[in-house]
């Protein structure tokens, strides 16, 4: 495999854009990534397009907007990992030597529906009659499994939302840029225990794109290419209750192990992580799954301040967090988690998410992340889980 | 299962892993045990997810009692469902885990306990346009 580099990355502001269509969203992201890379459409040899809900070719529709050059287009659908799956296909296209320069685009237009949108025939639906299969309940129970094992409290999960909403105030591309205190998060409308409204990601529209090329080609365009040091995908291996309660942990642990081996690093080397916080409960589980802290210590880890920008709890929240801190806890890693605001506030247009996470890491590695910049970021990890299940991890290095 | 043009309305299980008896107190959950590795599954299966063996499954009757493994309380429910309600994963006595609603307990976090002992019951939960009835199972404190 050849070394693969990113020379262009973009993410359009996420939100709800009823007056624009999917192709326009994807085209805007694609155009911005091309500009960022300083290359023209005719240099792109193949397009990989991640999208979940569209049944017609999302990638071809982007090309109809920005240039029908006749290149191969591959459309990927892999639930929430649709975008990162497209990126990974682009990675292989370059790594294998098949192409020298390709584009990955992720796009989605969800409006207000989300995964709750498509329901079967009401009379024969299991939902709410034989338990709940909707994402809020699934991730509520995943969090409760951690609570059962380690005594994690609702406040520990809620702190994730406080952190990510705080981070989002410095991200002009985030769908929401509004802070909330621990009390406000806890007293919010309960969606599925223990996740309140502010602990659930919104639905929305958005797109992101990246230009990938071989490292040799990259050096012709930039003195600072970003290296893709690892690209990993796993599905869920058989575990005891996986067919009843989706196991979001084991496949992430498996992917993380391979990613660290590929990149030749350990979790302690990470400057930052963009991980799949579709619900606040999920973020705490992934601290442990990605090795950012030891098993059972995720609650202590968020309360320690380690995953917050600056590796500390902001002064205004210190009093709220203090009762949940363990003063003897020494964080194993200092990777800032979800500096973008995470899916909780940045938004989660499914197909766009996996590429947007990668773009966010690129911005930081280049020192272009503005008020949310992770200081001196050198290595970043982007993690996505699509239920069903698919996990992708990409490690990016300066 | 009969198609939707059936003239005489039927009483049907809402899920394949519920076997209906002549009366509701005779309903039970069914499972399949892999003859190769012994893994137990809820409902019928063609292949084993654990060992990949094909074809040879023993149909077994699953327990009607068990304990709550994890739970959540769903407040934002799909339109036809009354909320809040308790959704849980139940580990059945004798093996197998199922998703289920928990009834007979106030849907409040402080009323729920991990490991709570529960027992199954069944009831009609819906009817389709052709008049067919659907039976679902649920659990309540034992």
Query: pLDDT per residue over A166-196, tens digit each?
Result: 999 999 999 999 999 999 999 999 999 999 9
Model confidence pLDDT, tens digit, residues B10-23:
999 999 999 999 99
Between chains, do B77 and A128 touch, taking CB under 8 Å as contact? yes
Give the catalytic positions of A in this structure: 80, 348
Q: How confident is the model at residue B79 (pLDDT cuts 50, 70, 90)?
A: confident
Q: Does residue B24 fall inside a structural domain?
A: yes
What pLDDT does residue A398 have? Answer: 94
Q: Does residue B31 fall inside a structural domain?
A: yes
What pLDDT does residue B5 have? Answer: 58
Q: Is A150 helix (H, G, I), strand (E, B) or coil?
A: helix
Q: Does residue B83 fall inside a structural domain?
A: yes
Residue A53 CA to chain centroid, in angstroms? 18
B91: chain A residues, CB-CB within 8 Å: 241
What does the pLDDT average to over B111-131?
96
Give the residue carrying structure tokens 């979790």.
A267
How many C-beta atoms lie closer than 10 Å to residue B81's C-beta?
16
CA distance A138 to chain B (A): 9
What pLDDT does residue A96 have? Answer: 98
- Highest CATH level, class, for A4-113+200-397: alpha beta
What pLDDT does residue A120 have? Answer: 54
Cβ pairs A/B, distance under 8 A: 127
Q: How confident is the model at residue A122 (pLDDT cuts 50, 70, 90)?
A: confident
Between chains, do B109 and A240 touch, taking CB under 8 Å as contact? no
What pLDDT does residue A56 have? Answer: 82
Please give the residue range of the domain that contains residue B76.
Answer: 14-141
Question: Crossing angle, helix A280-289 and helix A154-168, to 10 degrees?
Answer: 100
How many C-beta atoms lie closer than 10 Å to residue A126's C-beta?
16
Between chains, do A131 and B89 touch, taking CB under 8 Å as contact? yes
Identify the contact set of chain B against chain A, taking CB-CB distances under 8 A. Answer: 14-15, 41-42, 49-50, 69-78, 80-81, 83-85, 87-89, 91, 97-101, 109, 114, 125-129, 132, 134, 136-138
Between chains, do A243 and B41 touch, taking CB under 8 Å as contact? yes
Q: How many domains does chain B have?
A: 1
Q: Does residue B52 fall inside a structural domain?
A: yes
A111 pLDDT exceeds 80? Answer: no
Q: Answer for the pair B64, B117: CB distance below 8 angstroms, yes or no.
A: no
What pLDDT does residue B10 have? Answer: 95
Please state the φ and ψ torsions of residue B102, each to the nearest 5 degrees: -105, 125
Q: How confident is the model at residue A76 (pLDDT cuts 50, 70, 90)?
A: very high
Q: Does residue B4 fall inside a structural domain?
A: no
B3 pLDDT exceeds 80? Answer: no
What does the pLDDT average to over A367-379?
98
pTM: 0.95
Residue B139: in which H helix or E strand, if any? strand B133-141
List, in sequence order, every residue forming a beta bridge with B102; answer none if it has no partner. B86, B139
Cα dihedral across residues A294, A295, A301, A306: positive or negative? positive
Question: Crossing angle, helix A350-365 and helix A82-95, to 10 degrees?
Answer: 60
Q: Does residue B1 fall inside a structural domain?
A: no
What pLDDT does residue A117 have? Answer: 46
Between chains, do A129 and B14 touch, taking CB under 8 Å as contact? yes
How many helices (H) and strands (E) chain A has is answered by 13, 12
CA distance A279 to chain B (A): 14
Between chains, do B88 and A189 touch, taking CB under 8 Å as contact? no
Q: How far is A341 from A161, CA to CA, in rounded Å?
A: 9
What does the pLDDT average to over A352-376?
98
Q: Answer for the pair A321, A271: CB distance below 8 angstroms, yes or no.
A: no
CA distance A188 to chain B (A): 12
Choose from A127, A148, A193, A285 for mutation: most chain B CBs within 10 A. Answer: A193
A190: chain B residues, CB-CB within 8 Å: 73, 75, 84
Supply angle C-alpha A12, A348, A173, rounded to 5. Answer: 30
Q: How far is A172 from B46, CA to CA, in rounded Å?
A: 51
Q: Does residue B130 fall inside a structural domain?
A: yes
Q: Answer for the pair A384, A233: CB distance below 8 angstroms, yes or no.
A: no
Tokens of residue B42, six digits: 């809820």
Q: Does residue B60 fall inside a structural domain?
A: yes
Q: How far is A382 from A372, CA to CA, in rounded Å?
A: 17
Question: Crossing angle, helix A350-365 and helix A22-37, to 10 degrees?
Answer: 20
CA distance B87 to chain A (A): 4
Domain ranges of chain A: 4-113+200-397
Q: How confident is the model at residue A113 (pLDDT cuts 50, 70, 90)?
A: low
What pLDDT does residue B21 have? Answer: 97
What pLDDT does residue B4 have? Answer: 53
């Amino acid at each position: 495999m050849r070394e693969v580099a990113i020379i262009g990355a973009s993410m359009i502001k996420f939100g709800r854009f009823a007056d624009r269509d999917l192709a326009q969203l994807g085209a805007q992201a694609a155009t911005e990534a091309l500009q960022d890379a300083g290359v023209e459409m005719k240099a792109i040899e193949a397009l990989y397009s991640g999208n979940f809900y569209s049944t017609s070719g999302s990638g071809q529709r982007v090309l109809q907007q920005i240039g029908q050059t006749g290149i191969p287009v591959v459309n990927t659908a892999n639930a929430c990992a649709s975008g990162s799956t497209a990126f990974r296909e682009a990675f292989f296209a370059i790594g294998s030597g098949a192409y020298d320069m390709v584009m990955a685009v992720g796009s989605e237009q969800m409006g207000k529906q989300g995964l709750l949108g498509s329901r079967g025939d009401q009379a024969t639906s299991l939902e709410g009659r034989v338990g709940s299969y909707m994402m809020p309940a699934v991730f509520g129970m995943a969090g409760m499994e951690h609570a059962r094992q380690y005594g994690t409290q609702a406040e520990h999960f809620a702190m994730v939302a406080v952190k990510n909403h705080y981070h989002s105030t410095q991200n002009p591309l985030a769908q929401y840029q509004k802070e909330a205190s621990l009390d406000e998060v806890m007293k919010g409308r309960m969606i599925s225990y223990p996740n309140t409204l502010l602990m659930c990601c919104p639905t929305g529209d958005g797109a992101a794109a990246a230009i990938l090329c071989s490292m040799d080609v990259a050096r012709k365009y930039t003195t600072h290419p970003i290296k893709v040091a690892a690209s990993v995908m796993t599905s869920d291996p058989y575990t005891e209750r996986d067919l009843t309660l989706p196991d979001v942990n084991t496949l992430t642990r498996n992917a993380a192990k391979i990613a660290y081996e590929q990149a030749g690093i350990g979790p302690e080397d990470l400057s930052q992580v963009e991980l799949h916080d579709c619900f606040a409960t999920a973020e705490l589980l992934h601290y442990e799954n990605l090795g950012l802290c030891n098993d059972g210590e995720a609650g202590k880890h968020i309360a320690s301040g380690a995953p917050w920008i600056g590796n500390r709890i902001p002064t205004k929240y210190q009093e709220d967090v203090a009762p949940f801190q363990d003063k003897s806890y020494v964080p194993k890693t200092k990777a800032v988690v979800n500096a973008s605001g995470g899916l909780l506030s940045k938004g989660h247009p499914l197909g766009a998410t996996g590429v947007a996470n990668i773009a966010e890491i690129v911005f930081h590695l280049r020192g272009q992340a503005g008020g949310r910049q992770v200081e001196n970021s050198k290595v970043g990890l982007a993690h996505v889980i699509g239920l069903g299940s698919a996990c992708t991890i990409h490690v990016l290095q300066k | 299962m009969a198609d939707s043009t059936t003239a005489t309305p039927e009483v049907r299980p809402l899920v394949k892993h519920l076997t209906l008896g002549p009366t509701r107190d005779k309903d039970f959950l069914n499972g399949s045990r892999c003859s190769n590795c012994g893994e137990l599954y809820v409902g019928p299966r063609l292949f084993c997810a654990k060992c990949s063996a094909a074809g040879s499954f023993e149909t077994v009757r699953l327990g009607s009692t068990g304990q709550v493994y994890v739970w959540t309380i769903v407040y934002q429910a799909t339109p036809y469902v009354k909320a809040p309600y308790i959704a849980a994963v139940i580990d059945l006595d004798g093996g197998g885990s199922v998703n289920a609603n928990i009834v007979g307990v106030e849907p409040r976090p402080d009323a729920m306990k991990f490991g709570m002992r529960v027992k199954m019951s069944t009831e009609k939960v819906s009817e389709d346009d052709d008049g067919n009835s659907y039976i679902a199972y649920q659990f309540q404190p034992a």
